[in-house]
Structure 1
Amino acid sequence: MQYSDLRLAGKYVSTLGFGAMGFSEWFGTPNESDGITALHHALDAGVTFIDTARAYGPSEALVGKALRTWSGDIPIVATKVESLGPRRRWGMPVDVETVFPRGQVRASAERSLKELGTDHLDLLQLHLWWPTWGTEGYWMDELQLLKSDGLVAHVGVSIPDHRSDLALGLVASGLIESVQTIVNIFDPLAFDALVPLCREHGVAVLARCILDEGGLTGAITPTTEFPEGHYLDGYFDSTVPRRVYLDKVDALRAFVPEYAPSLAALALKFVTQAEGITTALTSMHRPAHALANIAAVDGPDLPEEIFDLLRTRHRFVKNFNNATHWSEQ
């Protein structure tokens, strides 16, 4: 396992992070035993960063239970403030008073502390942030007060979708210490502006959707279906014809196995080796997933010219999220 040159809460940050959204009920009822085993496998392999959220249902409680049965060094634990309001808040700006009414930041943080079974949070992120809210206000004051009270070590935000440039002003303000955003082979836009600015200001970049919700693993086929209510039900058919998406994935097979043993390994290497990415988050809620993802980042990095080729010639920016975010009011 490799580690970032930027520390959080005084701890080394592994370049591959444990995304605990898989412990939610969005993919079906989580298997508690498998989840704890998977997290322990990841920690054994050197993963030092766990990302969860209030919105992930039982995720925080399961992470807390796994850590109470873990005998090694306690990793960095990051969670997110629960946002309120209409579903479209994820796709277009909604008033901050609707999403994070006064007192919501502290109430959510206190619930997270209880669920995780800890007396402090290494990183607390707003699960949503829009530049229309500005960089100051009662919501930022509430975040900063949690820091001064010793309940939170660092604060940050999670950008709602692919528009990573939304956070440039907030990063430059010096008020936050992390930004979470989408980064993958198909969407490397964060490398153009956000990542360099974060490096300049010492702000951590938490990359998510690094496998494009599994699409970059090559596991999605023309006939793949997901159960009704599953997080990915309809996802790969919402913006472009699935065949168009799969053709873009197939084009990446030219790099396998010469530069990576699998499509998933290629996608993982692309993000984890990139300068300025503090940690790359991926779901590892099943033991097999944890072992496979960790193994994928071992071995030599992609040559610089291959990384550049992937970044420039294979970008395929689309927004699958909007179809679901705007389907309900």
Structure 2
Amino acid sequence: MDLRQLGSTGPRVSAIGLGAMGMSGMYGPADETESIATVHAAMDAGVTLIDTGDFYGMGHNELLIRDALRSSGRSRDEVQISVKFGALRDADGGWWGNDARPQAVKNFLAYSLGRLGTDHIDVYRPARLDPAVPIEETVGAIAEQIQAGHVRHIGLSEVGAETLRRAHAVHPIADLQIEYSLISRGIEAEILPTARELGIGITAYGVLSRGLISGHWRADQAVAPGDFRGISPRFAAGNVDTNLRLVEALRAVAEAKGATVAQTAIAWVLAQGEDIVPLVGARRRERLSEALGALDLKLEADDLAAIEAAVPVGAAAGDRYVAAQMAHLDSEK
């Protein structure tokens, strides 16, 4: 497994990380036994970065990762765990904003350490910017937890260039977790150049746009209750047809390379810079195996040009999230 550095101050991690969100109901029901087997398979393949959020399944995801690590027989220090915190939810799965106050940092962290069964988290980050709390206060509070030994590195998620600068002035930021894919390229204008100027790495989620550009999604595919994609604008009637036409254009390029659509989409993200680590949200071992095949796919300049001709910038139909959730993205302002 190739390794990449998360920014100038962060840890060295596997070139592809495992995003565990889908293992806790965000895309409909998931098989827990298969999820744990997938985590084991990822570790066996050399994946060291596992990303979660304390609000995924209201703590279920962290407990699942704990069980997977314990049953793997591996040392805790063989992996880097990245945790997002601060999203407020209710018992019915509703979303009620974000809390990134200094006292909330201590509270959320204590619960995450307990659920994960560990004494430290490798990268700790607010899931979204809390508009009621200056980013300097949130970062300062996490920095205190680094001094206390409970956190190793600070990350951010879905923030804009100005917020990156303000946060980094308080304490070095290891990485910014943000959506980045062939059909989500908004970071290229300002956020990515700023991150590179400051020495901040990128962990890219949504590299397959929640399966939309995996090559496996169908326009008539049923969506399970609770599956985020049931309300996602890009999967909505009309939009999905436009987006799947892009996928078919990408498929022609992929087949010419002897690769799958998913491998080609992931390899494109990998090719955008050594400071970018794609997160793949595989819930099953066969999907993980396919995704990791992107590491063997070498894209030359002609290949990259063909890919971008198949999926031009701005060609996707629909926003990344519904309007209410887009309003919480500092990265989109």
Q: Normalising to structure 2: TM-score of the pair?
A: 0.84
Residue in 2 that maps onto 1:17: 17
Q: Distance in 1 between matches of 2:133 and 2:16?
A: 31
Residue in 1 that maps onto 2:38: 38
How many residues of Structure 1 are paired with residues of Structure 2 in the alignment? 314
Residue in 1 that maps onto 2:136: 136
Q: Distance in 2 between matches of 1:107 and 1:131?
A: 19
- Indicate whether 1:259 and 2:257 are aligned: yes
- Indicate whether 1:83 and 2:82 are aligned: no
Deviation at 1:324, TM superposition (A): 6.4
RMSD between superposed Cα atoms in Å: 2.8
Match of 1:78, as an amino acid?
S
SS at match of 1:216: coil
Match of 1:219, as an amino acid?
H
Deviation at 1:133, TM superposition (A): 5.1
Match of 1:145, as an amino acid?
E
Go from structure 1 to structure 2 and tell me whether the alpha carbon gap of 1:290 and 1:253 turns closer, same or farther (over 3 Å shift). closer
Match of 2:200, as an amino acid?
V
Go from structure 1 to structure 2 and tell me whether the alpha carbon gap of 1:311 and 1:151 turns closer, same or farther (over 3 Å shift). farther
Deviation at 1:270, TM superposition (A): 0.7
Note if contact 1:18-1:282 (Cα within 8 Å) is conserved in structure 2.
yes
| From 38, 53, 62, the counterpart of 2:64 | 62
Go from structure 1 to structure 2 and tell me whether the alpha carbon gap of 1:7 and 1:134 turns closer, same or farther (over 3 Å shift). closer
Deviation at 1:181, TM superposition (A): 0.4
Match of 1:68, as an amino acid?
R
Q: Normalising to structure 1: TM-score of the pair?
A: 0.84
Q: Distance in 2 between matches of 1:64 and 1:186?
A: 33
Q: How does 1:141-152 map to 2 (within 5 A)?
A: 141-152=140-151
Residue in 2 that maps onto 1:232: 229
| Percent of residue pairs bearing the same amino acid type | 24
Q: Distance in 2 between matches of 1:171 and 1:272?
A: 26
Deviations 1:63-93 (A, max 9, x none): 111111223452111111132388474xxxx
Greater Cα shift, 252-261 or 318-327: 318-327
- Indicate whether 1:153 and 2:152 are aligned: yes
Q: Distance in 1 between matches of 2:228 and 2:123?
A: 25
Note if contact 2:207-2:278 (Cα within 8 Å) is conserved in structure 1.
yes
Match of 2:213, as an amino acid?
L
Q: Distance in 2 between matches of 1:281 and 1:142?
A: 26
Deviations 1:2-36 (A, max 9, x none): 21144799753111100010221223343222111
Note if contact 1:167-1:194 (Cα within 8 Å) is conserved in structure 2.
no
Deviations 1:139-160 (A, max 9, x none): 2332111111110001111117
Deviations 1:214-245 (A, max 9, x none): 01112222211202322211424449632222
Note if contact 2:55-2:88 (Cα within 8 Å) is conserved in structure 1.
no
Residue in 2 that maps onto 1:273: 271
Note if contact 1:125-1:158 (Cα within 8 Å) is conserved in structure 2.
yes
Note if contact 1:239-1:323 (Cα within 8 Å) is conserved in structure 2.
no
SS at match of 1:128: coil
Q: Distance in 2 between matches of 1:283 and 1:166?
A: 29
Residue in 1 that maps onto 2:281: 283
Note if contact 2:139-2:167 (Cα within 8 Å) is conserved in structure 1.
no
Deviation at 1:132, TM superposition (A): 8.1
More strand by share: 2
SS at match of 1:257: helix
Deviations 1:271-320 (A, max 9, x none): 12321443210112212122221123323x21124325545762235413
SS at match of 1:136: helix
Note if contact 2:121-2:150 (Cα within 8 Å) is conserved in structure 1.
yes
Q: Distance in 2 between matches of 1:66 and 1:315?
A: 39
SS at match of 2:81: strand
Residue in 2 that maps onto 1:296: 294
Q: How does 1:90-105 map to 2 (within 5 A)?
A: 99-105=99-105
**Unpaired runs of 5+ in structure 1?**
90-97
Go from structure 1 to structure 2 and tell me whether the alpha carbon gap of 1:218 and 1:87 turns closer, same or farther (over 3 Å shift). same
Note if contact 2:156-2:175 (Cα within 8 Å) is conserved in structure 1.
yes
Residue in 2 that maps onto 1:181: 178
Greater Cα shift, 228-237 or 149-158: 228-237
Go from structure 1 to structure 2 and tell me whether the alpha carbon gap of 1:7 and 1:241 turns closer, same or farther (over 3 Å shift). closer
